[in-house]
Amino acid sequence: MNHRENPQGRPGRPDGADLPAPDAPDGPSVPDGDRSALLAPHYSMFRVAERMLLTGHSHQAWPDVAMAGQVEAFEDAARDVDAKWGRAMAKADEVRAGFRRFLGGPSAELALGGNTHELVLRFLSALDLRARPRLVTSDGEFHTLRRQLGRLAEEGVEVVRVPAEPAGTLATRMAEAVDDRTAAVLVSAVLFETARIVPGLGELAAACERRGAELLVDAYHALGVVPFCMDGIDTAWVVGGGYKYLQLGEGNCFLRIPPHAAGLRPVITGWYAEFAELAADHREGTVGYPAGAARFAGSTYDPTSHYRAARVFGFFADQGLTPSVLRRISLRQRGLLTARFDALDAPEDLVTRDRDGSPGDFGGFLSLRSPYAGRLQAGLAERGVLTDSRGEYLRLGPAPYLSDAQLTAAVDALGEEVAALRREAGSPVPGS
């Protein structure tokens, strides 16, 4: 076992290098320690102080200002009817600006979408899969990629799935799998089942560039909990969203378009791509595309999600919840969960965790491995602790508005469920 310590409490950048804490924007300083007393009152509609919502890795609570955003969207529609779109587009620009702050790229070209699937489809449709009929990915990707790439494989596209574990060498092994027939590599910055951060993305980006392949990084499980940086991966596409750690709710996803993609023509294209001035190289009889991220635009959408997201991004700024602050909160809360779980001394054949590496090697949730993951989740729900499970992984996701007492009580409830399993298995239960 390797218990390397990270004395600064800072995570490694997704490409494996140390990430300096970004400068905090204007706003109140957030003290170290349990922040729930400061933050929980702002989430009164979700009653976060009364409920044990360890769903922070999946669906965080929305601050109360989110409701004001939704009401504003209705009021604009009621007042302006079809003329509402000018204000709606301004909200979309605010959402882009919010995402850029968490991407560490103030000038990033971002296409917005209701979900990552539609954005990944536009990306895939821009690839020349006839000339390069090969895609490289891992076997630890989220269902959006797993299912869609599986279907493409049925149509004759060669899909190479590199084992996700060990995560520490995943980028290197994927780089070795890239050849001249590879159209793209698709990989997560943080693995959704294990919370492992994938280091070495810069090395992978360089390998893709040498071979003429595209690199798509899924940053969903990084943004808002692991500081993300484009240094070393400027040629990469990045897909992500705010449904999880950023508290934006549904309908708020983005695709970061790298500078070299200016000439690509996605087959799946929406009429919003015609709003901007068409590119000069548009030929009569062909579909034209604008410059920048607008060439990957979709079609008519419900702008309510952007009104909500703009308010939440503003709330984060007002509360001083910057990427570096959120990372410190996450490391502290996950550390509390980890220590409390270890104190349970649970049999490893019932439930265990990955103890290799340092706290900075993991994202924003505690992933516990158990053949009884689904049962443990159900038992916890009966005890008022909301978590989720993915296959054999039980995931406990803290959030900044939860108190230390709530996190402790949640793991104690898990201890009761594990004790019940031990009794069924005939194992001695400590203290019984």
pLDDT digits (tens, 9 = 90+) for 286-322: 899 999 999 999 999 999 999 999 999 999 999 999 9
What pLDDT shows up at residue 426? Answer: 74
| pLDDT of residue 21 exceeding 50 | no
| pLDDT of residue 99 exceeding 50 | yes
| pLDDT of residue 110 exceeding 50 | yes
What pLDDT shows up at residue 2? Answer: 35
* Local confidence band at 33 (pLDDT 50, 70, 90 cut-offs): confident
What pLDDT shows up at residue 305? Answer: 99
For 176-221, write each residue's pLDDT tens digit. 999 999 999 999 999 999 999 999 999 999 999 999 999 999 999 9
- pTM, full prediction: 0.90
What pLDDT shows up at residue 22? Answer: 37
How many angstroms separate the most distant Cα atoms in the chain?
81
Domains observed in the chain: 36-64+320-425 (3.90.1150.10), 67-277+288-314 (3.40.640.10)
The angle that helices 304-318 and 85-103 make with each other, rounded to 10 degrees, is 40
The DSSP bridge pattern shows strands 134-138 and 109-113 to be unpaired
Q: Closest by alpha carbon to 111, among 102, 120, 101, 119? A: 119
The span from the CA of 340 to the CA of 249, in Å, is: 30
